[in-house]
Amino acid sequence: MPQDPSEYVSKIFKDGIFKDKVVFCTGGNGSICSGQVRALVHLGANACIVGRNVEKTEGMAKDIATAREGAKVIGIGACDVRSMESVQKAVDTCVKELGRIDFCIAGAAGNFLAPMSQLSSNAFKTVIDIDLIGSYNCAKACLPELVKAAKEHPTGESTVPSGRIIFISATLHYGGTVLQTHAVAAKAGVDALSSQVCIEYGPLGITSNVISPGPIGGTEGMDRLAKKAKEGTNPWKVIPSGRMGKVKDIADATVYLFSDAANYVNGEVLVVDGGAWRTTSTGRDFPYPDFLLEGGSVEGVGGMKKQKSGSKL
């Protein structure tokens, strides 16, 4: 169903600024990444989104295509970002059907809540594989195409530059986050990975940046990883901006980084969280350190690892 543009992109951006550009996005059927792609499509781009679930990915592609008449959006399901072969196959399909790749969003991620005492090495590895290895595989497969595109439309010489990649990270590792050892390690690695892409591929015309979302309302992540607020309360009042973020906030940041306005922005981390990480406690839902010391069970959220209660540090 078509969404009103005001829900996913600001009016300040000129229609058609990404005309004929192609964006490749892993995790593209998710709440945030689909919003990012939808904004780019609305502004003229065509797109290829990939995900694990075939039906969900193909359905989301059709939905995103309603953002602009004549838009081409393909959805590739059954793609496991942990497999380089799987990602490369998706990239090859994208290039075959859409002709090129100008922009890349490495957005696939997995998460749940668990204290380190109850976090198995396999569970830890799974998140590292999806978030960090998956981001690497996405970049590795797309970079040859991005370099080609950058040569055709170099930064600084075109009002519609190509050859840009955005990694989706988080703010979890800035001060540490209880119950998120796996995600903290993975996202710290994603930040470092983006810096390396900047250093090694910047001379070839590539810009590599990170967007780190804060708490974004109406997303799968918040539904799975945060408790629902009690009626009449506002647990987000501690955020300097006084509210949770919106998918549109992340989409606008994406448009900026892929636009001509960000020609000289490379190797940076753009935090879009209303200042949340500077003021919110690591234990908003699970009081620190009492929750850990008392061996509490993770309850009241959708994204949690099955655990035994009473397991203390």
Whole-angstrom distance, CA of residue 46 vs CA of residue 24: 9
Using an 8 Å Cβ cutoff, are 234 and 175 in contact? no
Total residue count of the chain as it appears in this document: 313
Q: Which of 169, 194, 195, 212 is catalytic?
A: 169
Q: Which of 135, 162, 187, 194 is catalytic?
A: 187
Using an 8 Å Cβ cutoff, are 164 and 143 in contact? no
For 34, residues 6+ apart whose C-beta sits below 8 A from its C-beta are 28, 49, 60, 63, 64
> 3-class SS at 73?
strand
Whole-angstrom distance, CA of residue 211 vs CA of residue 209: 7
* Greatest pairwise CA separation for the chain in angstroms: 62
* DSSP conformation class of 158: B
From 180, 178, 119, select the one nearest 307 (Cα to Cα). Answer: 119
Our answer to whether residue 308 is catalytic in this structure is: no
Whole-angstrom distance, CA of residue 34 vs CA of residue 168: 13
Read off the tokens for 225: 């990883």
Our answer to whether residue 187 is catalytic in this structure is: yes
Q: Is the dihedral of CA 172, 175, 178, 180 positive or negative?
A: positive
Helix, strand, coil percentages in the chain from 3-state DSSP, rounded to 5:
45, 15, 45
Q: Which residues are catalytic?
A: 169, 187
